[in-house]
Amino acid sequence: MRDVRVRFAPSPTGALHIGGVRTALYNYLLARKYKGTMILRIEDTDQTRFVPGAEEYILKSLEWVGIQIDEGVGKGGPHAPYRQSERKPLYRQYAQKLIDDGTAYYAFDTTQELEATREQLKAKGIANFQYDSITRMQMKNSLTLPADEVKKKLEAAEAYVIRLKVPAKEEIRLTDLIRGEVVVDSSQVDDKVLMKSDGMPTYHLANVVDDYLMKISHVIRGEEWLPSAPLHVLLYRYLGWEREMPQFAHLPLLLKPDGNGKLSKRDADKMGFPIFPLDWIDPNTNELAKGYKESGYLPEAMINFLAFLGWNPGTTQELFSMEQLIEAFTIERVGKAGAKFDILKAKWFNEQYLKSKTDENLIPYLLNSLARERIDCTKEKALKICSVMKERVTFPQDFWLNGKFFFHAPTQFDEQVVSKKWNEDTVKVLTAYRDEMDKHSSVTAELAKSTLESVTTNLGIAVGKILQALRVSITGGASGPDLMMTMEIIGKDEVVKRLSYALHTIKVKVG
């Protein structure tokens, strides 16, 4: 088996889409599994769509999720440069070879002319204009124009493109690792532009040339490329590289959560989840798009989640580290159907990874939030909070967001609890409880509990009846971590203070 060399080849036209991350991941898993090479190539042949900062963003995103590049942009390697714009001079000769061999030709039709032709045909009700074996003889190209005129045009540096001369009728077959054999009739393939009038190659040429030169063994890319795969096969053939042609694997698409269609940024915005791995500020609009990282998703959770969108190990194991994924991954087990994106599952993975951390390792999450709020907190206190909160947290920032009451006394009280649970009995118990607690110098969970038991017994009221009221007095909310532990963490003075405040405020309100 030949050396596994795979590439992830994004265009720097904006932030890296989450689907792109999955494509990169599958490439990476295959590379690592077979001790191969992961290459990052930047396909920036469209100068009009270049977005500054996009390349850096891609690099950072891959780094964040833990996809390591062995060779390519930002890393270098034996096939440098890895940015197609910097490889521009390379492509020319291959296009020239095709011309010389008669498998490609010059075309002088301007964009406007092509546009007009399309319009005309559309007006006649003909669905689509295709520049191909049938129509090319009506167009302005080196096949229809006299040789000397072509020569003259070229010498006069008139604008032209180079198109592939696709055969009129021929079966093109390729074996896709995911879909099996795919057969397309060449009459359905148009004479694709290989070299643009600005001297840059199109995706098709650059892609094939680079994959060949970089000795790529497997092309793993999105399903949107499947229709042009036959064209690529033709290119390999005409360039004489059929033997070296990589194996293709076209990945199913990531679909929007509701309804149908490809997952887009719009859907993500609408449903309130990120579409990009990292925060991204669009340089044109200055608009900020939230990233997964900044939203609190852990990279290992993202990887696990993404890996399972379109692939599964065939066992019931769901939690996989990157190493385990590398071990278990096979292209054969990648599904064919598009996968709807379900952010709930992503959250579940995030919870799993958060819960799997030791309490000590959780502390920095809380401390980071607190630092931002300029709140001091000892390590011991942070440890207690994390340990008591970890079972009910989805994101790292939840330690703070759902645990503000550890640091701030409530100023408002959950209305439902108040209206349902706040009555004369609770006031009686809570008052007695406060006074009792006040006698001690400090509180432990045990003390809080035993005191509560004795107070309620004395007054003949069931503990269950007032627990919610107690919680709302201490935290302001209806739910939260173990209440006795909460009181221990907050401390005796604060507990007494908050009880007094609640008794004062709520009584007035109800009264």
Partner RNA sequence: GGUCUGUUCGUCUAACGGUUAGGACACCAGAUUUUCAUUCUGGUAAUAGGGGUUCGAUUCCCCUACGGACUACCA
Question: CA 142 to CA 107: how far, in whole Å?
Answer: 6
Residues ≥6 apart with Cβ < 8 Å to 281: 287, 288, 289
Number of H helices, E strands in the chain: 21, 14
Q: Which of 265, 381, 404, 497 is catalytic?
A: 265
Residue 76 has phi, psi (to 5 degrees) of 85, -175
Could you say which of 101, 119, 198, 493 contacts RNA (CB under 7 A)?
198
Residues between 43 and 82 that touch RNA (CB under 7 A): 43, 45-46, 49
Note if 196 is an active site residue. Answer: no
Query: Is-contact 191 163, C-beta < 8 A?
Result: yes
- Comparison of 238 and 305: residue with beta carbon closer to RNA: 305
Q: Which stretch binds RNA (CB under 7 A): 141-149, 192-200, 323-331, 435-443?
A: 192-200
| 159 scored as a contact of RNA (CB under 7 A) | yes
- Comparison of 260 and 442: residue with beta carbon closer to RNA: 260
Kindly report the three-state secondary structure assignment for every residue of 17-76: CHHHHHHHHHHHHHHHHCCCEEEECECCCCHHHCCCCHHHHHHHHHHHHCCCCCEECCCE
Residues between 248 and 277 that touch RNA (CB under 7 A): 252-253, 255, 259-262
Write the binding mask 388 to 407 for RNA: x where contact by CB under 7 A, - elsewhere: ---xx---------------
Q: Which stretch binds RNA (CB under 7 A): 24-32, 55-63, 136-144, 190-198?
A: 190-198
CB of 83 to RNA, least distance (A): 12
| 196 scored as a contact of RNA (CB under 7 A) | yes
By DSSP bridging, strand 171-176 and strand 180-185 are: antiparallel
Could you say which of 224, 360, 415, 493 contacts RNA (CB under 7 A)?
224
| 170 scored as a contact of RNA (CB under 7 A) | no
Say what angle helices 88-101 and 203-213 make with each other, to 10 degrees: 100
| 366 scored as a contact of RNA (CB under 7 A) | no
Return the SS3 of 462: coil
DSSP letters spanning 317-349:
-----HHHHHHH--GGGB-SS-EE--HHHHHHH
Q: The tokens 């053939």 sit on which residue?
A: 237
Could you say which of 109, 210, 398, 414 contacts RNA (CB under 7 A)?
109
- Comparison of 125 and 146: residue with beta carbon closer to RNA: 125
Helix spans in 239-342 (H):
265-271, 292-295, 299-307, 322-328
- Comparison of 154 and 159: residue with beta carbon closer to RNA: 159
CB of 463 to RNA, least distance (A): 3
- Comparison of 206 and 288: residue with beta carbon closer to RNA: 206
Residues between 27 and 46 that touch RNA (CB under 7 A): 43, 45-46
- Comparison of 255 and 322: residue with beta carbon closer to RNA: 255
Residue 44 has phi, psi (to 5 degrees) of -110, 50
| 339 scored as a contact of RNA (CB under 7 A) | yes
Question: CA 24 to CA 10: how far, in whole Å?
Answer: 9
| 309 scored as a contact of RNA (CB under 7 A) | yes
Residues ≥6 apart with Cβ < 8 Å to 215: 3, 5, 79, 244
Residues between 204 and 223 that touch RNA (CB under 7 A): 223
Q: Measured in whole angstroms, how far is the alpha carbon of residue 486 from the centre of its chain?
A: 37
Could you say which of 147, 156, 344, 508 contacts RNA (CB under 7 A)?
344
CB of 76 to RNA, least distance (A): 21
For the chain, the straight-line distance linking the first and the last C-alpha, in angstroms and rounded, comes to 83
Residues between 431 and 490 that touch RNA (CB under 7 A): 449, 452-453, 462-464, 467-468, 471, 478-484
Question: CA 319 to CA 146: how far, in whole Å?
Answer: 66
Q: Which residues are paired to 218 by β-bridges?
A: 6, 247
| 368 scored as a contact of RNA (CB under 7 A) | no
Q: Which stretch binds RNA (CB under 7 A): 24-32, 66-74, 185-193, 288-296?
A: 185-193
Q: Which stretch binds RNA (CB under 7 A): 30-38, 51-59, 68-76, 311-319?
A: 311-319
Q: Which stretch binds RNA (CB under 7 A): 51-59, 60-68, 193-201, 272-280?
A: 193-201
Q: Nearest Cα to 356, choosing from 325, 321, 331, 324?
A: 321
Question: CA 382 to CA 261: how far, in whole Å?
Answer: 45
| 413 scored as a contact of RNA (CB under 7 A) | no
Q: Which stretch binds RNA (CB under 7 A): 29-37, 58-66, 71-79, 189-197?
A: 189-197
Q: How many chain residues touch RNA (CB under 7 A)?
A: 83
Catalytic residues: 265
